[in-house]
Every structure is written in structure tokens, then in C-alpha cells.
């Protein structure tokens, strides 16, 4: 297998540890990676039908992102607003020709994040380094796209939705939201969870590696196991739920704990209720 020259350079400088800072060429290798991330030419994770989850983690890309933090020095930036951060990760600048709408009001996209044409960002929101946000997606107010998170086409991240990122460990799968997923307000998707195409997360749903999901339609319980993350099936409609504590004081006191529940799969009625207003885009 042929190793990409950029990958080879990134791996060498990352392996060099602190000594990489003494090599002036290291910063050029990192900036090449950062530019490739912003262009969508490389990704922290990408679809791969040959893997168990359908996604492959590119650990070398994550190591390259970490290299940027190692090489970075604190520097001030910004015109109307003042920022102090690693000089390797300034806020991204956009032009009308890119076809991305960044609405005024306090939003920020970190360098090294990819936003495709026709993405809409409503203020205030934040997209971190290594994230990939595909065409037609809307990132609503107070929403977060974490580092290396992979967001598909026509996804709607509603107000205050949190998509966690996974930068370390480098071989861990980041959160993935596939095409046409709708994430309701105040949802949280964390710890490498994969949400398949067209799934709907109702407002307030929280998905983590340690949270079982009860599929009452098919009578199964979905869990993360071993290296396989929690995976929400295609077209599932997930709502916040609760399950009774079955032993000890919890049972005696009539307590219950939170759990997400798949109550149905998308149908015609669901499609009508989730129609997005194209004029907003």
C-alpha cells in the first residue's frame, strides 16, 4: 500500500515529539494538512463499506491535528472581537464564492474544519477543528460540532444540539451523523455514537456509549460493545424515555433512570412533520 506523502510527513513529525518544534518544515507539513482538512480532501474519518461500522478512522489525520497544537504558540487574532489561541488554529475566514452562510452574531469556525457549499450557520454556533460538515446542513443557534465529528448532507442540528468530538485517543471513532439526520433541540450525541441516515432524535435525547437504547419496534436493546460504538439504525425515531430500577433501594423507592427509546421508524407522517423551509437556506 502506497503511503501518501503528507501522511508520511505528519507521522514523522508527530513521532519526533517536542523536537518537531525545532524543524521549521514541521509547521509547513501541518499547514498542508490543515488546508487539506478545510478543503475536504482528507478527513479524520470517512465512509468505508468494508469496516464493521461502515466508517474508517484515519488516525494519522488526528495525529496531525494534535501536531498543530504541539507546534502552536499563543497569539492574538480577530478584528472586532479579540481571541487568544494557538496560532495554528485561527478562526476561519469565508468568502461569498464558497457558498456558505455564516450569519452575524458570534459564530466561529476553527481553522481545519470543513464546511461544504450551502451549509448554514445560525449564531451563535461553533465548529471545531477536524470536523466535516457536508452540503445543505444547518447548524442552528447554540449548536456545537466537536473536533473530528462527521456530519452528512442535509442534516439539521437544532438549537443547542451538542455533537461531541473525539480527538483522543486517535484511533477512536468520532461521532458520525449520516445524511438527512434531524437532531432536535438540546440533544447530545457523544463518545463515537453513529446515527444512521434519516434518523430523528427528538428534543432532549442524549446518546452516549454507556446508554442502552430500547427499540420497542423490533424488541431489541442497542448497546455499544467492545470497539463497536452505539449505532442508531437508519430511519429510527428516538425519544427520551425512562426505565424502572429493578432492584435495591431504587426499586423500593420507585425510581427510574433515563434511556433513549426508538418508538417508530420514519414514515409519511414523520416526513410531513419534519419538512424544512427551503427559504431559510
Do residues 246 and 256 touch, judged by C-beta distance below 8 A? Answer: no
Q: What is the pLDDT of residue 169?
A: 85
Does residue 210 surpass a pLDDT of 70? yes
Q: Render pLDDT for 215-227 as a digit per residue (tens, 0 to 9).
A: 999 999 999 999 8
Element containing residue 193 per DSSP (H, E): none
Residue 176 predicted with pLDDT over 90: yes
Instruction: Judge contact between 182 and 163, C-beta under 8 A.
Output: no
Size (the chain), residues? 281
User: Residue 76: its pLDDT value, please?
Assistant: 84
Q: What confidence score (pLDDT) does residue 156 get?
A: 96
**How many CB atoms are closer than 10 A to CB 6?**
17
Q: Which residues contact 46 (CB under 8 A, 6 or more apart)?
A: 55, 56, 58, 150
- Asked if residue 256 is part of any domain, the answer here is yes
Pairing of strands 194-195, 213-215: unpaired
Task: Tell me the chain's radius of gyration from C-alpha atoms.
Answer: 20
Spatial separation of the C-alpha atoms in residues 219 and 260, rounded to whole Å: 14
**Interatomic CA distance for residues 134 and 213, integer angstroms:** 27
The residue ranking higher by pLDDT, 90 or 55, is 55
* pLDDT surpasses 70 at 275: no
Residue 179 counted as domain residue: yes
**Average pLDDT of the residues in 156-171:** 92
Q: Determine the Cα–Cα distance for residues 64 and 24; give it in Å rounded to an integer.
A: 16
Position 277 in a domain: no
Q: Which of 71-75, 169-173, 232-236 shows the highest mean pLDDT?
A: 232-236
Rounded to 5 degrees, φ, ψ at 108 are: -150, 135
| CA–CA separation, 196 and 174 (whole Å) | 14
12 found inside a domain: yes
pLDDT at 58 over 90: yes
pLDDT-above-70 percentage for the chain = 94
Which pLDDT value is given to residue 202? 96
> Into how many domains does the chain fold?
1
Instruction: Write out pLDDT tens, residues 119-153.
Output: 999 999 999 999 999 999 999 999 999 999 999 99
Mean pLDDT, residues 107-126 taken together: 95
Residues 235 and 71: their CA atoms lie apart, in Å, by 43
User: Contact, 108 vs 90, CB < 8 A?
Assistant: no
Q: What is the mean pLDDT of residues 161-169?
A: 91
User: What was the pLDDT predicted at 83?
Assistant: 77
Range of the domain at 71: 5-269
Structural domain contains residue 281: no
Q: What is the mean pLDDT of residues 57-62?
A: 96
Q: Does the pLDDT at position 254 exceed 90? A: yes
> Is position 160 within any domain?
yes
Q: What is the pTM of this model?
A: 0.92
Half-sphere exposure of 43 (CA within 13 A, CB side): 22
Residue 132 in domain? yes
Q: What is the pLDDT of residue 127?
A: 97
CATH code, 202: 2.160.10.10
Q: Given pLDDT bands bounded at 50, 70 and 90, which one contains residue 85? A: confident
Q: Residue 57: inside a domain, yes or no?
A: yes
The per-residue pLDDT for 168 is: 85
Amino acid at each position: 500500500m502506497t503511503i501518501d506523502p503528507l501522511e508520511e510527513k505528519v507521522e514523522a513529525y508527530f513521532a519526533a515529539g517536542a523536537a518537531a518544534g525545532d524543524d521549521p518544515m514541521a509547521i509547513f507539513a501541518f499547514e498542508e494538512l490543515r488546508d487539506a482538512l478545510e478543503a475536504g480532501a482528507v478527513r479524520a474519518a470517512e465512509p468505508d463499506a468494508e469496516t464493521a461500522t461502515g466508517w474508517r478512522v484515519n488516525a494519522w489525520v488526528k495525529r496531525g491535528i494534535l501536531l498543530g497544537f504541539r507546534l502552536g504558540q499563543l497569539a492574538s487574532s480577530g478584528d472586532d472581537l479579540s481571541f487568544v489561541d494557538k496560532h495554528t488554529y485561527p478562526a476561519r475566514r469565508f468568502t461569498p464564492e464558497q457558498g456558505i452562510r455564516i450569519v452575524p452574531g458570534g459564530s466561529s469556525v476553527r481553522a481545519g474544519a470543513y464546511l461544504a457549499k450551502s451549509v448554514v450557520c445560525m449564531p451563535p454556533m461553533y465548529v471545531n477543528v477536524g470536523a466535516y460538515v457536508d452540503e445543505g446542513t444547518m447548524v442552528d443557534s447554540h449548536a456545537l460540532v466537536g473536533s473530528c465529528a462527521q456530519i452528512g448532507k442535509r442534516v439539521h442540528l437544532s438549537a443547542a444540539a451538542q455533537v461531541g468530538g473525539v480527538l483522543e485517543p486517535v484511533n477512536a471513532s468520532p461521532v458520525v451523523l449520516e445524511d438527512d439526520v434531524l437532531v432536535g433541540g438540546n440533544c447530545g450525541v457523544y463518545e463515537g455514537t453513529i446515527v444512521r441516515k434519516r434518523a430523528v432524535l427528538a428534543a432532549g435525547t442524549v446518546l452516549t456509549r454507556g446508554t442502552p437504547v430500547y427499540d420497542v419496534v423490533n424488541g431489541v436493546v442497542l448497546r455499544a460493545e467492545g470497539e463497536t460504538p452505539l449505532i442508531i439504525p437508519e430511519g429510527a425515531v428516538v425519544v427520551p424515555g425512562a426505565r424502572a430500577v429493578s432492584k435495591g433501594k431504587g426499586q423500593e423507592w420507585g425510581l427510574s433512570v433515563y434511556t433513549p427509546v426508538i418508538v417508530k421508524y420514519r414514515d409519511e407522517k414523520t416526513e410531513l412533520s419534519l419538512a424544512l423551509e427551503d427559504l431559510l437556506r
